[in-house]
Amino acid sequence: MLLHIIARGKIGRSSEADLTDRYLQRIQWKTKVTELPDTGGNIPDPIGTPVRSVVLDERGKAMRSKDFARKLERWRDEGVRETRFLIGAADGHEAETISSADLLFSFGPATWPHMMCRAMLAEQLFRATAILAGHPYHREGPR
């Protein structure tokens, strides 16, 4: 399954870009990043079908890393070819994008800079795939 980050704004050469790249390079699954302008621009056509859409939004569902990993695992096992992770610009997403999402995902109620969200998402994607591979990267603390 392709993990495809579609993000508004250009990250350029920055510490956030370096951190994002560091995590994406560790992922054993296929990954892709598409940058769109802050407004306008077309979301690219899917690589294959079926496709799932995850929209990052502060009103979305906060998930434990293991639960996020299991969701990706379920989609992969159902034959999903591409999971898209949409990161909006400063003004968020259009209503149509939110309403068509398979999952509204949140890093909590705080507002995060969209460039930082890329790095946080890349880390969570690495963590999820590491969990599914049985890799010791993820250590769950006491509950």
Give the CATH number of the domain where residue 129 resides.
3.40.1280.10
Cα dihedral 53→57→59→60 (10° resolution): 30
Residue 141 lies in a domain: no
Residue 143 lies in a domain: no
Strand partners, 143: none
CA distances for 97 relative to 100, 104, 139, angstroms = 5, 10, 34
pLDDT of residue 87: 96
Whether the per-residue pLDDT at 76 is higher than 90: the answer is: yes
Residue 106 banded pLDDT, cuts 50, 70, 90 = very high
Count of CB atoms situated within 10 Å of the CB of 8: 20
pLDDT of residue 142: 60
The label of the residue with tokens 């309403």 reads 99
Whether the per-residue pLDDT at 73 is higher than 80: the answer is: yes
Contacts of 131 (CB under 8 A, 6+ apart): 65, 66, 69, 137, 138
Split into its structural domains, the chain has a count of 1
Range of the domain at 104: 2-133
Residue 11 lies in a domain: yes
- Crossing angle of the two packed helices 114-133 and 15-26, in degrees rounded to 10: 20
48 is in an annotated binding site: no
Whether the per-residue pLDDT at 136 is higher than 90: the answer is: no
121 is in an annotated binding site: no
Residue 27 lies in a domain: yes
